[in-house]
Structure 1
Amino acid sequence: MQAFSSLISRAEEEGFIRGFKVNGRRGEGVSVSHLLFADDTFLFCEDNRDQLVFWNWVVICFEVVSGLKINLQKSEIILVGGVEEADRAAAVFGCKVGNLPTTYLGLPLGAPHNSCRVWDGVEERFKRKLATWKKQYLSKGGRFTVIKSIISNLPIYFMSLFVIPRKVRLKLEKIQREFLWRDMEERRKIHLVRWAVICIDKRHGRLGLRHLKDFNHALLGKWLWRFPIENESFWRRVIVGKFGEVEGGWTTREVRESYGTGLWKDIRKGWEEFFLRTSICIGNGRRTRFWWDIWVGDAKLKDLFPSLFRIATHNSAVVVDLWGRQGGGGGGWEVHFRRSFQDWELEEVNRFGSHFCSKGSRRGGLSRFEN
């Protein structure tokens, strides 16, 4: 598939084919012509006969060069927006016409991300795996082991990308509770332990079953973790092209759009909570904001010293901008302010100067405040 991707990229560079552009707020964006995963391929094309013909020639060239044959009986053209003469477009490739919503790699494509119907397949598999007859030869411990294995496998794929609706979460938890406590006749029995207690971590003396809501937040938080690390990844470039990124590249700007952005918008909502639970190793200081990031101590400097933050000359500066070389070959902080300090601000100035030493700043040295 690498050869197929190179062939498509070459045709796109020469201007024979065009994909679609993920437009950002200021008109910038990333062009997407194809997506490949194993033998699953997505090709993006405009509603233009010439474009379709060129795409068809690319496919034919790949078949000739590789000796592989693309199964057009399993392929389909999916229409997005208003497309005229869809049958004509399908005839160029010789495949059928499909519609949204559909699925790609087992995930819903084109369906509302917060729709409960998206989770119907997960719910059905839960019921099938935790069927009543399976309790016949299982003790309470055996039932619990089965429940734990189901949670570790079935919903992870969906919960790693979508926020699980409350209605769906309650249904899945009910299926688990009934499998654990009810008998073969499905008679209602007293639950000996509250479900919330069962989900408490083993380190606290409980059973440690994963709570779906917390598990979902942890899986979505992995995308927030990967965003500042995978700088060259294609998915990150698409997200940045759409929403932009904050200084330092830790995350995107806040998502305010209401259409077509729900997936990343839900993930981005967890940024503040995620960021409070992380720490920053300074390095060269080019990605860490002096006032806005938590890099010395356990809180943002703008919250610890609000008066100084308001009068700072560069309150959006990164750490390296405020570190200067001083006499004797050493270094120190050079923080500038727009005006002289008032008498009631001197106490905060003294606390500010001693804060770096008391908290063990990554960079030592003296501080010099200039008005």
Structure 2
Amino acid sequence: MKRLSLWKRQYLSKGGRLTLLESTLSSLPTYFLSLFVIPKRVCARLEKIQRDFLWGGGALENRPHLVSWKVICAAKKDGGLGIRSLAIFNKALVGKWLWRFGNENDSLWKQIISRKYDIQEGGWCSKGVRDHYGVGVWKAIRNGRENFRTHSRFIVGDGTRVKFWKDLWCENQSLEDAFPNLFNLTANKEGWVAEAWEEDGVGGSWGLRFNRHLNDWEVGEVESLLSKLHPLTVRRGVDDLLWWRENKNGTFSVKSFYSSFSRGIRPPFPARIVWTPWVPIRASFFGWEVAWSRLLTIDRLKRRGWSIPNRCYLCKNEEETTDHLLLFCEKAKMLWLLIFSLFGVQWVMHSL
């Protein structure tokens, strides 16, 4: 709160406030967020301080927040301001410990956690923490294991640490989900990849065992399964590896994990036009508000309960809207024509 004292906003444009936000509350708590899971009330309080500083609100004022905080926390290319969401950033930072647990074998911290909670089958994570008393750091980190698993997969070596049916190691779907009927018929649902591999003099092949003889319509599914397994082999003496799916090199990064949380279908946004390096950031911020149609024109003020006549104060003829004020007003048209003529641009303004 000292870094974002409300008096500072009196001397800063919205672009300056954005720059200060990115260098304070989005960065200061990184050390704590990388180890401890942030309580929801603390996260809400910190984000409220950020919102009030950006839009100029506070305990003594009631300034409107023109764009939702969820949109603001999106990347600039997706129409946001690139301010990190503290809750999502916390999950991405904590995920680093789950990655390190699966890849670091000789670390002292891992040995301590393994002795206290025991190792899960395969050794990629500890068993679930079920104690109801106290607040354990690892207990909070371990709760994000299932989400972490959806973004990782395994590269099979000798196959002794990867479940044949339940783990993700063959293409982008577990065999249990890809072939549910065969999974119900298999004799060993908890079997390892190494147990399904049969070595011979030539090299080896996949051997699948089921509880009963297969019907004709089930043989086709087995053929499809074997065609998936055909390019894969078990290599004795080679360790199984944990692979991060969000990076091309397979290595975990906080940035890639954070991006996976905010990924989704978003409407196209003219980010390259709005955020250009040769334009002052305060002008870019204004263009960003225009692109979202969030300027406090009279038509938007009336929606918020203001009782004022809606007339453009420049031309006195039409209602004041964002499009009218910046494009179709007679005064604005004259300004656009003047700018176009100075730069030799031939342009015809479209009509409403």
| TM-score bracket relative to the smaller structure | 0.5 to 0.7
The reply on whether 1:351 has 2:224 as its aligned counterpart is yes
1:303 to 177, 183, 192: 177
Residue correspondence of structure 1 range 264-275 to structure 2 within 5 A: 264-275=138-149
In structure 2, the residue matched to 1:287 is 161
SS at match of 1:279: strand
Separation in 1 of the partners of 2:75 and 2:153? 24
Superposition deviation, residue 296 in structure 1: 0.7
Q: Does the 8 Å CA contact 2:71/2:79 hold for their aligned counterparts?
A: no
* SS in structure 2 of the partner of residue 136 of structure 1: helix
Counterpart residue number, 1:246: 120
- Asked if the contact 2:9/2:56 (under 8 Å) is kept, the reply is no
Q: Where does residue 363 of structure 1 map in the other structure?
A: 233
Structure-2 change in CA distance of 1:344 and 1:257 (3 Å)? farther
Q: Distance in 2 between matches of 1:234 and 1:302?
A: 35
Name which of 159, 166, 170 aligns with 2:40.
166
- The match for 1:335 is 208
**Counterpart in the other structure of 2:187:** 313
Preserved CA contact (<8 Å) 2:4 2:53: yes
SS in 1 for 2:207: strand
CA separation in 2, counterparts of 1:284 and 1:201?
A: 41
Counterpart residue number, 1:206: 80
Deviation at residue 183 of structure 1 after TM alignment: 6.6
Amino acid in structure 1 at the alignment position of 2:233: R
User: In the alignment, which residue of structure 2 is the partner of 1:56?
Assistant: none
**Once superposed, what is the RMSD of the aligned Cα atoms?**
2.5
Q: In structure 2, how many angstroms separate the alpha carbons of the residues matched to 1:242 and 1:208?
A: 40
Q: Find the counterpart in structure 2 of residue 26 from structure 1.
A: none
Q: Is the 8 A contact 1:133 1:184 kept in 2?
A: no
Q: Which amino acid aligns with 1:334?
A: G
2:126 maps to 1:256: no
Once the two structures are TM-superposed, the CA of residue 261 in structure 1 deviates from its matched residue by: 5.7
User: Take 2:113 and 2:216, find their aligned partners in 1: how far apart are those partners?
Assistant: 47
Shift of 1:160: 1.7
Deviations 1:62-121 (A, max 9, x none): xxxxxxxxxxxxxxxxxxxxxxxxxxxxxxxxxxxxxxxxxxxxxxxxxxxxxxxxxxxx
> Cα deviation per residue 1:181-204 (whole Å; 9 max; x = unaligned)?
117995322222221111011232
Matches within 5 A, 1:190-205: 190-205=64-79
Q: Name the TM-score, length of structure 2 as normaliser.
A: 0.61
* Counterpart-to-counterpart distance in 2, 1:184 and 1:317: 59
In the alignment, what sits opposite 1:149?
23
- Alignment correspondent of 1:223: 97
Q: Is the 8 A contact 1:161 1:263 kept in 2?
A: yes
- Paired with 2:122 and 2:163, the residues of 1 have a C-alpha distance of 7
Cα shift readout 1:105-152 (whole Å, capped 9, x = no counterpart): xxxxxxxxxxxxxxxxxxxxxx11111122232221111111111134
Residue 110 (structure 2) pairs with residue 236 (structure 1): yes
Q: Equivalents in 1 of 2:134, 2:185: separation in Å?
A: 40
Residues 259 and 185 of structure 1, relative CA distance in 2, 3 Å threshold: closer
Partner in structure 2 of residue 175 of structure 1: 49
Structure-2 separation of matches of 1:246 and 1:184: 49
Q: Which amino acid aligns with 1:222?
A: K
Task: Return closer, same or farther for 1:349/1:291 CA change in 2, 3 Å cut-off.
Answer: same
> Offset of 1:209 from its aligned partner?
0.8
Change (3 A) 1:183 1:215: closer
Q: Give structure 2 stretches of 5+ with no counterpart.
A: 235-352
Q: Are the aligned partners of 2:22 and 2:83 in contact in 1 as well (CA < 8 Å)?
A: yes
3-state SS of the aligned residue for 2:222? helix
The structure in which a higher percent of residues are strand is 1
Q: Aligned with 2:206: secondary structure?
A: strand
Counterparts of 2:131 and 2:217, CA distance in 1: 43
Specify whether residues 185 and 171 from structure 1 end up closer, same or farther in structure 2 by C-alpha distance, changes over 3 A only: closer
What SS does structure 2 have at the residue aligned with 1:280? strand
Contact 2:55 2:65 in 1 (8 A): yes
